Structure 1
Amino acid sequence: MFFTYLRRELRRRRKAALVVASGLALGIALVIVVSSVSSGMSKAQDKVLQSLYGLGTDMTVTKAAAAPGSGGTERPRFEFDAKDDDEASQSTDRVMVQGFQTLAADTVDKVGAQDGVADAVAGLSLTVMKVDGQFKRGEFKQDESASQGGQGGRGGPGGGGQPQGEVRGGGASFDVNSFTVYGTDVTRQDLGPLTSSTITEGRTFKAAETDAEVAVVDAAYAKEKELALDKTVTVSGTDYTIIGISTADSGDAAANVYVPLKQAQTLADAKDKVTTVYVKATDSQKIEPVKAAIQKNISGTTVTTSADLADTVSGSLSTASDLAAGVGRWLSVAVLVAAFLVAGLLTSSAVSRRVREFGTLKALGWKSGRVTRQVIGEALVNGLMGGVLGIAVGLAGAYAVTAISPTLTAQLGSSGGGGRMGGGGPMGGGGPGGQSASKTLDIALTAPVSLTTILVAVALAVAGGLVAGAFGGWRASRLRPADALRRVA
């Protein structure tokens, strides 16, 4: 009887049911779109941080920045030998530690011993500046007018003076190129910047290659310099055999060339030194306590978490993320609340128009509870219909955003903590010794819809139906048979 009457009443009041369902659908669809876009922005920001940190890294430990004027930095010097051959080329490399600040290699063990640390791996970031070219000796050109006639000319016969003229031509022509090198612990490759790239050709390092002259080269750098597998890349006079080509998962690669950590220490004359310790916490909830413990127990270090780096992200990605988190969520909540209220008021209004119907049913023996359940059942079905419609519209909206894939720009300012691994010039890395150069990445926005979002939409649909049913049920429970009899024509 309940379901028969329910089906008949919904068919009889299709327009009213459609209005209630559409209002709820609008609010639910907006919640789905805003949630999916927010999730997409969160993933976009994670991609940005991956390109700096590496997968699974929760924080980095670097040497604390030197006080201004303390002489903690040095300027690169280049020296060339004198050669008699004018056509001889001159070439020299200068290998510098990014940021000019290093930690003792045993710092990684100290960090790993802290409570809440699941894993810790060290790395050494270098910048190589290569200067090559040649000097060309100038040629002396005598002044012809001064040498002719010999009369009164200082350069003429018997004049006793030096021949007049000028040096023409000559000079120097040098090219300056720089690239970044990252020394990785080949025995523990599951943490650090190299994990933010995928090996697309060849292989990665073997655990036994701790001091081997082998290298993994970034795909973009390999294309620029025409490098390939089994060829060599020269770093400060040492030829490294290329065993693999890596492609950054997003943005720029952490370095142009990756070599074993011991080889990087040899290149930079930095034995038992590292620039960064990459840390993974046992629990995401323990990141801040771990950060505090490291700073307290290991002096002279700076700890940078992913949250600290996220604060340095600016540009349209940051603006859009703030907009979605603030205005978007509040707007969706406001629309949802309004939809609930409208659904409740429409249901209550529909009950008021059915006074004669419900009064007659009560006169025939229906209890108030049965009438209330009937109204709530109708409202709940309307809510579920609105939920199905809202999920369909929300999924369509999220799909449209993903299909369009608007490009957002993420600009990464200096973090001061040395956590980033930018490439470029000698100060282009994220060394704690100075300000990092800003880095701009273009990220395509997607709007993934998770199962949790769908379940939330279903819950909202049920809640909307119950809210509307509560309004109508309360009104229906107050009706009396006498009201119906007074309205009988």
Structure 2
Amino acid sequence: MFGIYLKRELGRRKKAALVIAMGLALGIALVITVNSVSAGMNQAQDKVLKSLYGLGTDMTVTKAQSAPKAGSSQGPSFKFGATSSSGSSQSSDRVNTQGGQALASSLVTKVAGQKGVADAVGALTLNVTKVDGSFTQGKAKSSTTSGSSSGGQQGGPGGTSSGGSGQPQVQGGGANFNVNSYSVAGIDVTNQTLGPLSTSKITTGKTFTTAQTNAKVAVISASYAKSKKYKVGSTFSISGTKFTVIGIATPSSSESTVDVYLPLKQAQTLGDSKNKVTTIYVKATDSQQISAVKSTIQKNISGTTVTTSADLASTVSGSLSTASNLATSVGKWLSIAVLIAAFLVAALLTSSAVSRRVREFGTLKALGWPSRKVTRQVVGESMVNGLIGGALGIALGLVAAHTVTAISPKLTAQLGSTGGGGTGGGPGGGQGGPGRQAASTTLKIALNAPVSLTTIALAVGLAVTGGLIAGAMGGWRASRMRPADALRSVS
């Protein structure tokens, strides 16, 4: 009886039911879209942090750069010898450590032994500025001037007589030099699961072997290989040391912040930093205890700065940060406002429909229907409207999320300083820690909008809630009707 009557009444009021369902559907679709976009923002931020830290890395240990001594100069200096031949090519490299003050390699073992640390590995970050080009020797030529009157002379120092020869002048010559700056990371080839190279995949060639701890080989990023037209087997020199490219690495997400990867010992030799590292990458045994591990390291190893992914996340700027703030603040508040409006509209429309059914409900009560049964009838109709609205809202939300994923708008992300490591001197002198290394690099992230089962469950819950609110308001009004009201409505 209940089901038959419910089906008949909904069939009679298709337009009203559709209006109520569509109102709820729009609110639910907006909630799904905002939640999926917010989830996409979080994923994009995780990609940025992983590209800087390394997969599985929970924190990094660095040391702030010491202030330069008074009177010392940390500016770039390049020395070129004089040659007799004109146009001879000359080249000079300047290599400096990047990422704060160098740490003793022994600290890696000490950090690894701290409570809550699962693994630790050291890396040395360098910046190489290469200047190459040639000088062209000028030629001395004398110029002659003709006097305007015969026998006239001009006195004074440097004066010339009319018609005589002038002072010789150097004409032509000059210098033509190119400046190329790129980043180098010295990694522990015996443990490549942590650190800068762990976020990249070797797409051409191969990676380092454990036997190549001091080999003159290199892995380069795909973008750097493209710009320099390098391929596997190509060679290049840094400060007179020739390296052979054995692999090309493509970052798993976003852009690489390192151009060249070398074995740690080779990087230490180039940077004149024997047994030194600039960054220690740390993996915690429990991701829920990262803050406790950070405090332990800072307490037991004085003078170091420990930076976690949460510290870096707060410094993310660019369009990614702007969009994330809009999605989490404006978007959620807008969703709440639309949902409240949808619930109120559904409740008012249901209550209005009950008012137009005075004769119907009054007659049912005259036939013996109790108030609870009339209320159940109204609530049942509202619940069906709510579920229909929920189904439509989920469909609209999925379409909107799929559209965002299909378009994949590009967002930029840039990390600022968290105050961990001071600024290095000279060109390319980066700031400490991986976040500072990326401060001058803008990463582009494709935005996705994943829809989780939790979001779908939330949509179903909102649909049921909307139906219950509308049904409760309409049912309360229907329960207050008396059989006499039906008689009064008869004209």
TM-score scaled by structure 2?
A: 0.86
Aligned to 1:397: 400
Residues 61, 23 of structure 1: alpha-carbon distance in 2 compared, 3 angstrom cutoff: same
Letter of the 1:245 partner, please give it: I
- Which SS does the other structure have where 2:393 is aligned? helix
| 1:353 maps to which of 352, 356, 359 | 356
Q: Distance in 2 between matches of 1:213 and 1:101?
A: 25
Q: 1:334 Cα shift?
A: 0.9
Correspondence 1:191 to 2:194:
yes
Letter of the 1:427 partner, please give it: G
Q: 1:168 Cα shift?
A: 4.4
Q: Is the 8 A contact 1:417 1:432 kept in 2?
A: yes
Q: 1:67 Cα shift?
A: 4.2
Aligned to 1:180: 183
Q: Is the 8 A contact 1:343 1:468 kept in 2?
A: yes
Q: Distance in 1 between matches of 2:21 and 2:143?
A: 99
- Which SS does the other structure have where 2:233 is aligned? coil
Q: Is the 8 A contact 1:304 1:418 kept in 2?
A: no
**Greater Cα offset, 379-388 or 131-140:** 131-140
CA deviation map 1:49-74 (0-9, x unaligned)? 33322333332221124247678983
Q: Distance in 1 between matches of 2:484 and 2:117?
A: 74
Aligned to 1:158: none
Aligned to 1:242: 245
Q: 1:88 Cα shift?
A: 4.3
Correspondence 1:383 to 2:386:
yes
Q: 1:326 Cα shift?
A: 1.0
| 1:461 maps to which of 450, 453, 463 | 463
Correspondence 1:473 to 2:475:
yes
- Which SS does the other structure have where 1:129 is aligned? strand
Q: Distance in 1 between matches of 2:65 and 2:271?
A: 20
- Which SS does the other structure have where 2:427 is aligned? coil
Aligned to 1:426: 427
Q: Is the 8 A contact 1:99 1:434 kept in 2?
A: no
Q: 1:93 Cα shift?
A: 2.2
Letter of the 2:446 partner, please give it: A
Letter of the 2:228 partner, please give it: K
Write the mapping of 1:254-403 to structure 2, written as runs, cut at 5 A: 254-403=257-406
Letter of the 1:447 partner, please give it: A
Residues 109, 480 of structure 1: alpha-carbon distance in 2 compared, 3 angstrom cutoff: farther
Write the mapping of 1:401-412 to structure 2, written as runs, cut at 5 A: 401-412=404-415
Correspondence 1:7 to 2:13:
no
- Which SS does the other structure have where 1:227 is aligned? coil
**Greater Cα offset, 395-404 or 22-31:** 395-404
Q: Is the 8 A contact 2:416 2:435 kept in 1?
A: no
Residues 66, 433 of structure 1: alpha-carbon distance in 2 compared, 3 angstrom cutoff: farther
- Which SS does the other structure have where 1:52 is aligned? helix
- Which SS does the other structure have where 1:365 is aligned? coil
Q: Is the 8 A contact 1:72 1:100 kept in 2?
A: no
- Which SS does the other structure have where 1:304 is aligned? strand
Residues 420, 208 of structure 1: alpha-carbon distance in 2 compared, 3 angstrom cutoff: farther
Aligned to 2:157: none
- Which SS does the other structure have where 1:376 is aligned? helix
- Which SS does the other structure have where 2:442 is aligned? strand
Q: Is the 8 A contact 2:181 2:428 kept in 1?
A: no
Q: Is the 8 A contact 1:181 1:256 kept in 2?
A: yes
- Which SS does the other structure have where 2:390 is aligned? helix
Residues 451, 144 of structure 1: alpha-carbon distance in 2 compared, 3 angstrom cutoff: same
| 1:450 maps to which of 436, 449, 452 | 452
Q: Is the 8 A contact 1:51 1:252 kept in 2?
A: yes
Q: Is the 8 A contact 1:53 1:420 kept in 2?
A: no
Letter of the 1:133 partner, please give it: G
Q: Distance in 2 between matches of 1:460 and 1:282?
A: 39
Q: Is the 8 A contact 2:64 2:100 kept in 1?
A: no
Residues 453, 240 of structure 1: alpha-carbon distance in 2 compared, 3 angstrom cutoff: same
- Which SS does the other structure have where 2:126 is aligned? strand
Letter of the 2:201 partner, please give it: T
Q: Distance in 2 between matches of 1:49 and 1:488?
A: 72
Correspondence 1:253 to 2:256:
yes
Residues 102, 72 of structure 1: alpha-carbon distance in 2 compared, 3 angstrom cutoff: farther
- Which SS does the other structure have where 1:124 is aligned? strand
**Greater Cα offset, 5-14 or 447-456:** 447-456
TM-score scaled by structure 1?
A: 0.86
Residues 420, 375 of structure 1: alpha-carbon distance in 2 compared, 3 angstrom cutoff: farther
Q: Distance in 2 between matches of 1:49 and 1:435?
A: 12
Letter of the 1:341 partner, please give it: L
- Which SS does the other structure have where 1:45 is aligned? helix
Q: Distance in 1 between matches of 2:481 and 2:254?
A: 67
Segments of structure 2 that go 5 or more residues without pairing to the other structure are 147-165
- Which SS does the other structure have where 1:217 is aligned? strand
Residues 168, 350 of structure 1: alpha-carbon distance in 2 compared, 3 angstrom cutoff: closer
Q: Is the 8 A contact 1:211 1:263 kept in 2?
A: yes
Residues 70, 337 of structure 1: alpha-carbon distance in 2 compared, 3 angstrom cutoff: farther
Letter of the 1:472 partner, please give it: G
Correspondence 1:54 to 2:54:
yes
Q: Distance in 2 between matches of 1:364 and 1:419?
A: 86
Q: Distance in 1 between matches of 2:134 and 2:457?
A: 70
- Which SS does the other structure have where 1:468 is aligned? helix
Aligned to 1:25: 25
Q: 1:361 Cα shift?
A: 2.6
Aligned to 1:74: 74
CA deviation map 1:210-269 (0-9, x unaligned)? 222221111121122221112223222222222211123444312111111122112212
> Identity rate of aligned residues, in percent?
67
- Which SS does the other structure have where 2:448 is aligned? coil
Aligned to 1:215: 218
CA deviation map 1:368-420 (0-9, x unaligned)? 33332222221111101001111111122222323333333334334433599
Residues 343, 115 of structure 1: alpha-carbon distance in 2 compared, 3 angstrom cutoff: farther
Write the mapping of 1:69-148 to structure 2, written as runs, cut at 5 A: 74-86=74-86, 88-99=88-99, 101-141=101-141
Q: Distance in 2 between matches of 1:7 and 1:225?
A: 72
Q: Is the 8 A contact 1:312 1:412 kept in 2?
A: yes
Q: 1:105 Cα shift?
A: 1.3
Residues 434, 321 of structure 1: alpha-carbon distance in 2 compared, 3 angstrom cutoff: closer
Letter of the 2:48 partner, please give it: V
Letter of the 1:5 partner, please give it: Y
Q: Is the 8 A contact 1:418 1:432 kept in 2?
A: yes
Q: 1:142 Cα shift?
A: 5.8
Q: Distance in 1 between matches of 2:20 and 2:284?
A: 49
RMSD: 3.5
CA deviation map 1:102-121 (0-9, x unaligned)? 11112223333333333322
Q: 1:165 Cα shift?
A: 3.2
Aligned to 1:152: none
Q: Is the 8 A contact 1:427 1:434 kept in 2?
A: no
**Greater Cα offset, 67-76 or 119-128:** 67-76
- Which SS does the other structure have where 1:416 is aligned? coil
